[in-house]
A and B are shown apart, each in its own frame.
Chain A
Amino acid sequence: MTDAVLLDGLSKSFGDRRVLDGIDLRVAPGEVLGYLGPNGAGKSTTVRILVGMLAGFEGRAEVAGFDVREHPLEVKRRIGYVAENAVLYEALTVQEHLLLVGRLHGLRDEAILARAKPMLDAFDLGSRIASRLGALSKGMRQKVMIVGALLHDPEVLFLDEPLSGLDAHSAVLIKELIRALADDGRTIFYCSHMLDVVERVCDRLVILADGRIAANGTLAELRARSQGGGTLERIFLELTSDGGASQRARAVVAALGHSA
């Protein structure tokens, strides 16, 4: 069976700084992969390469069997993408945004609106269809972006901190949605810092540190390999940090001119 996502020696540098350093990864269809790492570890860079927003990388990257470099359009037809900081055309209305996204995916207006309506209602956005995106809250814009990412029924969904700005009800809905989409055969590539959510919804976890894969496996496998065992947070910190959080906190306070 074709891998939903395949990375083979993926590397990327910005100037002299190497952000990704030889990532090898396979994600099976229907799998929910949690892609974790501290700030600057290379999570978003990986996703931006996979969704065709970032060129000039080394190695191979494939989505749904199509090479990202050779067949970017075929890849984009099969993916949905929710960015962490949703940049949208603020002067467009919700309806216009969805029409734009749907049309670019080759959908007819009737099909777009027929699909959008129940999704917007589910996100309590049915009454805001004619509102400008600029007039919506961050969380609402995030929901619109999620609806836009699902409109064309993608095979692979890339979610980069999708719960950012969402209220508790919507966050629960997204978590349930992820599981339901995966049960229906879609692949989810889930980037997040929210370890408790990842722990609950993901089948497998990949932890990045300094542009390399520090761990790859199910939560049970990671626990077994970990020296301390225990929670995902503990495993994450063990793999990605040199510890000393309390010392660093004291240094910050000391810099303000107080003795810690």
Chain B
Amino acid sequence: MTRLRSGPRPFKDTGPFGRFACAVVGRLRVPLRAAGVDTDALRALLQTEFTLGVRRARRAQDEGRQSGLQTGAVLGFVMQVLMGGIGAMAVGFIRDPLWGMGIAQLVLMAMLTMVLVSDYLPMLVDTADVTVIAPLPVGDRTLLATRITHATTLLAVTLLGSSVLPLIAGTIVHGVAFVPIWCLATLLLAGTAVALSFGLFLGAMRLFDMERFRDLILYLQVAAMVLVMGGFQVLPRLVSSAEVESLVRHRGWWLALLPPFHGAGLLAWWQGDHSRLVVVLGVLGVVVPLALLTALVAWLGGGFVARLAAMATGARSAPAPRPRRRVFRDALLRSTAARAGYDFVAALSRRERTFRLRTYPLVAVSVVLGIAMSLQRGAVRNERMLAISLYFLATYSPLVVTMARYSDNHEASWILRTAPLRRPGEFLTGGLTALLVTFTAPAVLLMSGLLLAIAGPEIALDLAFATCVVVGTSVVAMLKLGRRLPFTEQAVKNPMEGSIGLFLAMSFVVILAGATHAALRSLPVAFYLVLGVLPVIVVLLLRRLRGIEPQLAVQRRLRSRRQIADAPDLQ
């Protein structure tokens, strides 16, 4: 590449995955051009997107923004790897490669859907760079192809964690050739998932005006998450293992309808199975994602830039919201700064598009998972143990708190940073209280009401126990993760910082809390003793929440103590 002067090579931070995506685009020049994509522009945009992603993540790390999240990201990754264990067992123990890899890819698809819906679907309708791109000669289909390629690549990378164990098992059972086949199948599966979901969104974009679409995409996401995750949890409980076994015993053409089995067809084919079904599945594995993606770009890509631009500008015409009565705010908070923080967070958590897109679907899933886990073949499990499903709500407070750091309009953070707040912590307390009142409390009440209706008043004490744990966990999450001024930071499109990572990390807490609850239930004295102590702990934690200080202020104080005069300004 030509350089103007000596200095760093331009776009040197594109990264290996970005370079891989650009290389693939180079290979697919002919079909992409046939679909109306300018491949040179596509590569230029991809290079930019990947470079920006790498640099934003690096900058966030340099600023220490991710320090609180790193543990979550690591736990999330561990959970992803463990989830791959189910796939590894399928690959390792089911001798038929079609069924073994098919089931493993099916598990991967559940993971993929969660990640896609919560973290990558918002990328399709991201309007942050519209002002840069819209005046440039970038065709609708080229921009759409950029977003699809970017999302598919990141999605495939994110799934690497869940692929570790299946890859080990597959290599042992089927040999080294399993590795490229699995990776190809995973990439193609990601392509199919992106094509189907983006297709749904683009179709909706054409049918509805932008005002309605903005709300609609949220409901679509919530519905998709609930359907897939609910389905994955509920179906196995409604269908007996004998029914599943009889289904698995004979291969049927219906397998062609399940994309995870297409990739498995490639493995079976490579292993010498040349039956018609396997050949068709293998061919579908390659043809379906490419055909779907090409059709998506060619047919639904028209007018994409204009629609994005309309989304970016449409907010100005949104009707003014009705003023709300803040009964809880006034009862819980006294100072003006705290009330200002409450109003600020309550308003933006309802209106910030990215926040809504990245949190609401997983919030819905927490509730659905809780209900689904309590069912067994349509009937209620051990009624007392039903209360344990309330613990699923513990997953979402850290998620909401973390995502509340980021804003579509983070440049406006100067307003908070320059405000003469005598105690910035009061503002933060107000904001976190708003999250407790508007997110945690309604979900706990809704779920408790539902569980009481199902199981009756005998589980009231268990619910009280679980409620204390959920609220306590939420407050701990706020104390740990919520020490940044809300809605002031730029979101980083980094797979490890996604909401799904935190969601998975918190699953550990759910398992731990559920197991402890079950164990205590068998020791009545201990259970009642802990039940008596828990409210006290919650109250103490809530008091600590009142004394919280933003990380910025803490760091400033530390800096002045250590007299680090030339440290980079955190603002």
- B-binding residues in A (CB < 8 A): 14-15, 17, 48, 51-56, 72-73, 76-77, 79, 81, 83, 87-89, 91-93, 95-96, 99-101, 103-106, 109-110, 113, 116-117, 120, 126, 129-130
Provide the bound-state CA to CA distance between A93 and B52, in Å: 10
Counting chain B residues whose Cβ lies within 8 A of the other chain, the interface size class is: 35 or more
Judge whether B131 and A89 touch: CB under 8 Å. Answer: no
Provide the bound-state CA to CA distance between A17 and B319, in Å: 11
Tell whether B106 is near chain A: CB-to-CB under 8 Å: no
Provide the bound-state CA to CA distance between A96 and B136, in Å: 15
Nearest Cβ in chain B — how far from A146, in angstroms?
13
Query: Can you name the residue of chain A whose Cβ is closest to the Cβ of B5?
Result: A129
- Residues of A with C-beta under 8 A to B319: 15
Provide the bound-state CA to CA distance between A126 and B137, in Å: 26
Judge whether A117 and B4 touch: CB under 8 Å. Answer: yes
Taking CB atoms and an 8 Å cut-off, the chain B residues in 369-388 that contact chain A are none
Provide the bound-state CA to CA distance between A99 and B8, in Å: 14
Judge whether B317 and A52 touch: CB under 8 Å. Answer: no
Query: Can you name the residue of chain A whose Cβ is closest to the Cβ of B56?
Result: A91
Provide the bound-state CA to CA distance between A73 and B59, in Å: 35
Tell whether B11 is near chain A: CB-to-CB under 8 Å: yes
Judge whether A95 and B4 touch: CB under 8 Å. Answer: yes
- Residues of B with C-beta under 8 A to A55: 303, 306-307, 309-310
Provide the bound-state CA to CA distance between A105 and B314, in Å: 28
- Residues of B with C-beta under 8 A to A51: 134-135
Judge whether B137 and A91 touch: CB under 8 Å. Answer: no
- Residues of B with C-beta under 8 A to A79: 135
Judge whether B51 and A54 touch: CB under 8 Å. Answer: no
For A103, give its contact among B41, B59, B135, B307 (CB under 8 Å). Answer: B41
Nearest Cβ in chain B — how far from A190, in angstroms?
16
- Residues of A with C-beta under 8 A to B40: 103, 106
Tell whether B2 is near chain A: CB-to-CB under 8 Å: yes
Given A93-B10, A113-B2, also A53-B52 (CB < 8 A): no
Judge whether B7 and A52 touch: CB under 8 Å. Answer: no
Query: Can you name the residue of chain A whose Cβ is closest to the Cβ of B13?
Result: A91
Query: Can you name the residue of chain A whose Cβ is closest to the Cβ of B57?
Result: A91
Provide the bound-state CA to CA distance between A245 and B57, in Å: 49
Judge whether A14 and B4 touch: CB under 8 Å. Answer: no
Judge whether A89 and B48 touch: CB under 8 Å. Answer: yes
Judge whether B59 and A91 touch: CB under 8 Å. Answer: yes
Nearest Cβ in chain B — how far from A56, in angstroms?
6
- Residues of B with C-beta under 8 A to A113: 2-4
Provide the bound-state CA to CA distance between A55 and B311, in Å: 10
For B4, give its contact among A48, A89, A129 (CB under 8 Å). Answer: A129
Nearest Cβ in chain A — how far from B39, in angstroms?
11
Nearest Cβ in chain A — how far from B27, in angstroms?
19
Given A96-B10, A96-B48, A104-B45, also A54-B309 (CB < 8 A): yes
Judge whether A76 and B132 touch: CB under 8 Å. Answer: no
Tell whether B206 is near chain A: CB-to-CB under 8 Å: no
Nearest Cβ in chain A — how far from B182, in angstroms?
33
Taking CB atoms and an 8 Å cut-off, the chain B residues in 127-145 that contact chain A are 129-132, 134-139
- 7 more contacts with CB within 8 A, not counting A14-B314, A53-B135, A99-B44, are A14-B313, A52-B309, A53-B131, A55-B303, A76-B137, A89-B129, A91-B55
Judge whether A53 and B137 touch: CB under 8 Å. Answer: no
- Residues of A with C-beta under 8 A to B130: 53
For A110, give its contact among B2, B52, B306, B317 (CB under 8 Å). Answer: B2
Tell whether B322 is near chain A: CB-to-CB under 8 Å: no
- Residues of A with C-beta under 8 A to B98: none
Given A52-B305, A55-B309, A72-B306, also A104-B10 (CB < 8 A): no
Query: Can you name the residue of chain B whose Cβ is closest to the Cβ of A132?
Result: B55
Judge whether A105 and B136 touch: CB under 8 Å. Answer: yes
Query: Can you name the residue of chain A whose Cβ is closest to the Cβ of B52?
Result: A91
Tell whether B249 is near chain A: CB-to-CB under 8 Å: no
Q: Can you sample 20 A-B contacts with CB below 8 Å?
A: A14-B316, A15-B318, A17-B317, A51-B135, A53-B131, A55-B309, A73-B137, A79-B135, A83-B131, A88-B132, A91-B55, A91-B56, A92-B52, A103-B44, A104-B137, A106-B40, A113-B2, A113-B3, A117-B4, A130-B8
Q: Indicate with 1 or 0, residue by residue over B30-70, a CB within 8 angstroms of chain A CB atoms.
A: 00000000001100110110011001100100000000000
Nearest Cβ in chain A — how far from B330, in angstroms?
27
Judge whether A105 and B137 touch: CB under 8 Å. Answer: yes
Provide the bound-state CA to CA distance between A83 and B133, in Å: 12
- Residues of A with C-beta under 8 A to B10: 93, 95-96, 99
- Residues of B with C-beta under 8 A to A77: 137
Provide the bound-state CA to CA distance between A168 and B41, in Å: 36
- Residues of A with C-beta under 8 A to B529: none
Taking CB atoms and an 8 Å cut-off, the chain B residues in 479-502 that contact chain A are none
Tell whether B1 is near chain A: CB-to-CB under 8 Å: yes
Nearest Cβ in chain B — how far from A82, in angstroms?
10
Provide the bound-state CA to CA distance between A14 and B317, in Å: 5
Nearest Cβ in chain A — how far from B400, in angstroms?
27
Q: Which 3 A-B pairs have the closest CB atoms?
A: A15-B317, A130-B7, A14-B317
Q: Indicate with 1 or 0, residue by residue over B7-37, a CB within 8 angstroms of chain A CB atoms.
A: 1101100000000000000000000000000
- Residues of B with C-beta under 8 A to A93: 8, 10
Provide the bound-state CA to CA distance between A17 and B318, in Å: 11
Judge whether B51 and A96 touch: CB under 8 Å. Answer: yes
Provide the bound-state CA to CA distance between A46 and B131, in Å: 15
Judge whether A91 and B51 touch: CB under 8 Å. Answer: yes
For A89, give its contact among B2, B7, B132, B317 (CB under 8 Å). Answer: B132
Provide the bound-state CA to CA distance between A48 and B135, in Å: 8
Provide the bound-state CA to CA distance between A99 and B9, in Å: 12
Judge whether B313 and A54 touch: CB under 8 Å. Answer: yes
Provide the bound-state CA to CA distance between A109 and B130, in Å: 24
- Residues of A with C-beta under 8 A to B310: 54-56
Provide the bound-state CA to CA distance between A115 and B236, in Å: 64
Given A91-B59, A109-B2, also A101-B52 (CB < 8 A): no
Query: Can you name the residue of chain B whose Cβ is closest to the Cβ of A130?
Result: B7
Provide the bound-state CA to CA distance between A51 and B130, in Å: 12
Given A89-B48, A92-B48, also A129-B135 (CB < 8 A): no
Query: Can you name the residue of chain A whose Cβ is closest to the Cβ of B318?
Result: A15
- Residues of B with C-beta under 8 A to A54: 309-310, 313
- Residues of A with C-beta under 8 A to B139: 73
Query: Can you name the residue of chain B whose Cβ is closest to the Cβ of A94?
Result: B4
Query: Can you name the residue of chain A whose Cβ is closest to the Cβ of B43?
Result: A103
For A116, give its contact among B4, B7, B134, B137 (CB under 8 Å). Answer: B4
Provide the bound-state CA to CA distance between A77 and B137, in Å: 6
Provide the bound-state CA to CA distance between A89 and B59, in Å: 14
By CB atoms of chain A within 10 A, which of B8, B47, B306, B318 has the most?
A: B306
Judge whether A101 and B136 touch: CB under 8 Å. Answer: yes
Nearest Cβ in chain B — how far from A42, in angstroms?
13
Judge whether A52 and B52 touch: CB under 8 Å. Answer: no
- Residues of B with C-beta under 8 A to A101: 136
- Residues of A with C-beta under 8 A to B11: 96, 99
Query: Can you name the residue of chain B whose Cβ is closest to the Cβ of A158?
Result: B135
Judge whether B4 and A76 touch: CB under 8 Å. Answer: no
Judge whether A104 and B136 touch: CB under 8 Å. Answer: yes
Nearest Cβ in chain B — how far from A13, in angstroms?
8
By CB atoms of chain A within 10 A, which of B48, B59, B303 has the most?
A: B48
Provide the bound-state CA to CA distance between A53 and B308, in Å: 9
- Residues of B with C-beta under 8 A to A100: 44-45, 47-48
- Residues of B with C-beta under 8 A to A104: 41, 44-45, 136-138
Judge whether A72 and B305 touch: CB under 8 Å. Answer: yes
